[in-house]
A and B are shown apart, each in its own frame.
Chain A
Amino acid sequence: DAGVTQSPTHLIKTRGQQVTLRCSPKSGHDTVSWYQQALGQGPQFIFQYYEEEERQRGNFPDRFSGHQFPNYSSELNVNALLLGDSALYLCASSSGRLTDTQYFGPGTRLTVL
């Protein structure tokens, strides 16, 4: 049973560029949440996708956008990258009816130079 997978594992970009991160949820899960974790901080909720719609959003600017596909996988897009966007980006999956139980992927470490 495959767990949550994310790609790529590491990424280096420069300011102003755009990035796309990908997530495949755990088998049987239909809900994907994205988090940003800066060094020494806890994960910060970006948004959650369910049934291909953004269900709730945290306090992140519109530069952060996402998408969920019919197979429940998801993408996180960040435009006009800033140095402060450097962080570990975590994807978590859950079942639509049991969203309390989340399983996290290994994350994508994004460095913006």
Chain B
Amino acid sequence: RKEVEQDPGPFNVPEGATVAFNCTYSNSASQSFFWYRQDCRKEPKLLMSVYSSGNEDGRFTAQLNRASQYISLLIRDSKLSDSATYLCVVKNTGGFKTIFGAGTRLFVKA
């Protein structure tokens, strides 16, 4: 079983739609959680950290469920510019290794 698993997609949605991505992690000792965005042939960029209480940044909302060991990302009012691969990232307690999921591809169409 992979340490971090994501639905690979692709998700094809129209502009203005709401889309949700889920991610599961296998190590209950995982301590830090993030969502990164990666455009085609570019480097990953931090989208947002994920906190236990959930957090929101504009149209983006991240949630963490420690009991079920999953993380979610909700994008509201999708824009064409949201088209990218979204990477779920986990870091374990006491370690420096960062574990990336394989990513979920999103296409937003006009």
Contact = CB atoms under 8 A, between A and B. Distances in A.
B97 A56 contact: yes
Interface in B1-53: 4, 32, 34, 42-46, 49
Interface of B is mostly: strand
B45 A44 contact: no
B99 interface: yes
Contacts of B43: 90, 104-107
A58 interface: yes
Contacts of B96: 33, 48, 50, 55-56, 99
Interface in A29-83: 33, 35, 40-45, 48, 50, 55-56, 58
A43 B46 CA distance: 13
A45 B32 contact: no
A58 B95 CA distance: 11
Closest 5 CB pairs of A and B: A42-B100, A104-B43, A56-B96, A42-B102, A43-B100
B98 A106 contact: no
B66 to A, nearest CB: 17
Contacts, number: 46
Size category, B interface: 20 to 34
Interface string B77-110: 0000000000100010001111111110000000
Interface of A is mostly: strand
Interface residues of A, number: 23
Given A55-B96, A104-B45, 16 more contacts: A41-B102, A41-B103, A42-B4, A42-B100, A42-B101, A45-B99, A48-B96, A56-B95, A56-B96, A99-B96, A100-B32, A102-B46, A104-B43, A104-B44, A106-B42, A107-B43
Nearest to B101: A42
Given A33-B98, A56-B95, A42 B103 contact: yes
A101 B97 contact: no
Which of A41, A43, A50, A103 counts the most B-chain CB atoms under 10 A from its CB? A43
22 contacts: A33-B96, A33-B98, A42-B4, A42-B100, A42-B101, A42-B102, A43-B44, A45-B97, A45-B98, A45-B99, A48-B96, A48-B97, A55-B96, A56-B96, A90-B44, A99-B96, A100-B91, A102-B46, A103-B46, A104-B43, A106-B43, A107-B43
